[in-house]
């Protein structure tokens, strides 16, 4: 609970109206204390330059062990994020500092290559076409449930070699683990962990044509992933790669349907789609707050001194709307020169899956607007409802009319 009277909570209102609230914060209090939805005291950073500084600061760390120590000191050992299963799932590259991070990232990068991703294109295209066919039978569809969610789940499950029958339970665990941190977190983490252990064992016993089998076998100068590193890596790829891509497609569709001129420009020139994907990532990206970081020494950000041992909430969403960096930041412009956004993070943890996300986003959005020339928001779709989440920026649903 907040001990600081200045703290405000990243609550449901913040999640519903982030752009409006953060535009104010960038001017009035660009570095300020808040309480996160998981009940932690943290410093919210909202300006582009400050965000980049923090994401590359040598005094800002991620190490899961140190983080757990800090949480225990602050909040007591029964805090949900300290449950053994959740903690085990969290020991992966995104929660590591060099040299562990460097080593883990290098091993994965050896198999998660641009070529391996490009090979997925035909499959992504055919899954997309199937899902759009199914949508065409209905006048009104929830684009999240009917299109944006199933596509990345199928792709990530195929990439990792997760059997089709398990995808639904997979999806439900992912939803809880990336959610607001309620009491279901402990159980979902335990079930997910047990499942992934079995999956890794199965790949070891009988390797398939999939990334997880490749990860089991990968070596780098004699180095290889331990059993637990494999499990945590699989978890990271699912957690990091699923919900985010869902929101790229859904938030992107919403933004385009709200800006008919932009949608028209894109239809007139489909070669703009990859550029539009970058702009949509900037305009309303899937990750609101970057994953938890903490200071190990005092740092000065935007003129504010943050002491050592403090948690940081780095708002990527806000940085991408900073008028100091982007001209007319609140305007969607699919012809805006790409580059500079921080939707995939910044620094050593910059998204490893960005090429896959870009490919899925471009295939999905390109095919969607081509297939449904009359696509529009269904009655009642706006104002959109955003899902309550500690870090993510995703829609509850997106009702659309297909004709
Ligand atoms: C890291 C965003 C899709 C795998 C990150 C980070 C962001 C991000 C912001 C850095 C987080 C931080 O520093 O706290 C996104 C977005 C995506 C997407 C917006 C979709 C539009 C994917 C996909 C995969 C993936 C499809 C893999 C299947 C990863 C991994 C990391 C990561 C492994 C950790 C990298 C590291 O620690 O070095 N992503 N991501 N992401 N992402 Fe993504």
Q: Which range of residues forms the domain containing residue 189?
A: 8-401
Q: Is 317 in the pocket of ligand 1 (CB under 6 A)?
A: no
Ligand 1 centroid, distance to 236 Cα (angstroms)? 9
Collapsed DSSP state (helix, strand, coil) of residue 42: strand
The number of the ligand 1 atom at minimal distance from the alpha carbon of 345 is 9
Ligand 1 centroid, distance to 269 Cα (angstroms)? 29
Collapsed DSSP state (helix, strand, coil) of residue 402: coil
Instruction: State the SS3 of 104-154.
Output: HHHHHHHHCCHHHHHCCHHHHHHHHHHHHHHHHCCCEEEHHHHHHCHHHHH
CATH number at residue 122: 1.10.630.10
Q: Is 230 in the pocket of ligand 1 (CB under 6 A)?
A: no
Residue 159 lies in a domain: yes
Q: Hey, whose CA ends up nearest to atom 4 of ligand 1?
A: 353
Q: Is 314 in the pocket of ligand 1 (CB under 6 A)?
A: no
The number of the ligand 1 atom at minimal distance from the alpha carbon of 247 is 21
Determine the residue of 100, 344, 391 to mutate for testing ligand 1's pocket, defined as the one with the most ligand atoms within 8 A of the Cβ atom: 344
Q: Is 237 in the pocket of ligand 1 (CB under 6 A)?
A: yes
Residues in Cβ contact with 112 at an 8 Å cutoff, skipping those fewer than 6 apart? 211, 352, 353
Ligand 1 centroid, distance to 208 Cα (angstroms)? 25
ipTM for the assembly: 0.99
Residue 2 lies in a domain: no
The number of the ligand 1 atom at minimal distance from the alpha carbon of 356 is 26
Cα 265 to the center of its chain, rounded Å:
28
Q: Hey, whose CA ends up nearest to atom 26 of ligand 1?
A: 241
Euclidean distance between CA atoms 202 and 196, whole angstroms: 10
The number of the ligand 1 atom at minimal distance from the alpha carbon of 159 is 28
Residue 1 lies in a domain: no
Determine the residue of 96, 253, 350, 351 to mutate for testing ligand 1's pocket, defined as the one with the most ligand atoms within 8 A of the Cβ atom: 351
Domain count, the chain: 1
Ligand 1 centroid, distance to 287 Cα (angstroms)? 9
Each of the 403 residues of the chain gets a pLDDT tens digit; together they read 344 545 678 888 899 999 999 999 999 999 999 998 878 899 999 999 999 999 999 999 999 999 999 999 988 888 877 888 778 888 899 999 999 999 999 999 998 888 889 889 999 999 999 999 999 999 999 999 999 999 998 898 888 888 889 888 888 888 787 765 667 888 888 899 999 999 999 999 999 989 999 999 988 778 889 988 999 999 899 888 888 999 999 999 999 999 999 999 999 999 999 999 999 999 999 999 999 999 999 999 999 999 999 999 999 999 999 999 999 999 999 999 988 999 999 999 999 999 999 999 999 999 999 999 999 999 989 899 999 888 899 999 999 999 9
Other Cβ atoms closer than 10 A to 73: 10
Q: Hey, whose CA ends up nearest to atom 10 of ligand 1?
A: 345
Residue 317 lies in a domain: yes
Residue 3 lies in a domain: no
Name the region of 63 (left: φ>0; alpha: ψ -120 to 50; beta: rest).
beta
Q: Is 112 in the pocket of ligand 1 (CB under 6 A)?
A: no
């Amino acid at each position: 609970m907040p001990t600081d009277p200045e703290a405000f909570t990243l609550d449901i209102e913040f999640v519903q109206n982030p752009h409006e609230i953060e535009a104010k914060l960038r001017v009035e209090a660009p570095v300020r204390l808040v309480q996160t939805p998981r009940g932690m005291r943290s410093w919210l950073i909202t300006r582009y330059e400050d965000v980049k500084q923090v994401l590359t600061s040598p005094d800002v760390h991620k190490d899961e062990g140190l983080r757990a120590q800090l949480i225990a000191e602050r909040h007591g050992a029964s805090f949900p994020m300290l449950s053994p299963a959740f903690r085990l799932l969290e020991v992966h590259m995104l929660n590591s500092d060099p040299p562990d991070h460097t080593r883990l990232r290098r091993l994965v990068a050896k198999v998660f290559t641009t070529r391996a991703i490009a090979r997925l294109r035909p499959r992504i295209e055919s899954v997309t076409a199937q899902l759009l066919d199914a949508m065409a039978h209905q006048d009104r569809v929830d684009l999240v449930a009917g299109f944006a969610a199933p596509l990345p789940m199928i792709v990530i499950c195929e990439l990792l070699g997760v059997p089709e029958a398990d995808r639904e339970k997979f999806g439900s665990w992912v939803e809880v683990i990336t959610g607001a941190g309620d009491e279901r977190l402990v159980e979902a983490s335990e079930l997910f962990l047990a499942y992934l252990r079995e999956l890794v064992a199965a790949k070891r016993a009988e390797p398939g044509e999939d990334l997880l089998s490749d990860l089991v076998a990968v070596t780098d100068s004699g180095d290889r992933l331990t059993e637990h590193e494999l499990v945590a890596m699989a978890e990271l790829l699912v957690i990091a790669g699923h919900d985010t891509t869902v929101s790229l497609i859904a938030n992107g569709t919403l933004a385009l349907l709200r800006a008919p001129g932009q949608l028209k420009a894109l239809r007139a020139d489909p070669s703009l789609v990859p550029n539009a994907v970058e702009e949509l990532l900037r305009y309303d990206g899937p990750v609101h707050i970057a994953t938890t970081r903490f200071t190990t020494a005092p740092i000065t950000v935007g003129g504010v001194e943050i002491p050592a041992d403090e948690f940081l909430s780095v708002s990527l969403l806000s940085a991408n709307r900073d008028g100091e960096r982007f001209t007319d930041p609140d305007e969607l412009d699919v012809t805006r020169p790409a580059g500079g956004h921080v939707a995939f993070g910044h620094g050593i943890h910059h998204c490893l899956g960005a090429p896959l996300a870009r490919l899925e986003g471009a295939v999905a959005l390109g095919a969607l607007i081509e297939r449904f020339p009359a696509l529009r928001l269904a009655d009642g779709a706006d104002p959109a409802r955003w899902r309550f989440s500690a870090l993510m920026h995703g829609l509850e649903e997106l009702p659309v009319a297909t004709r």
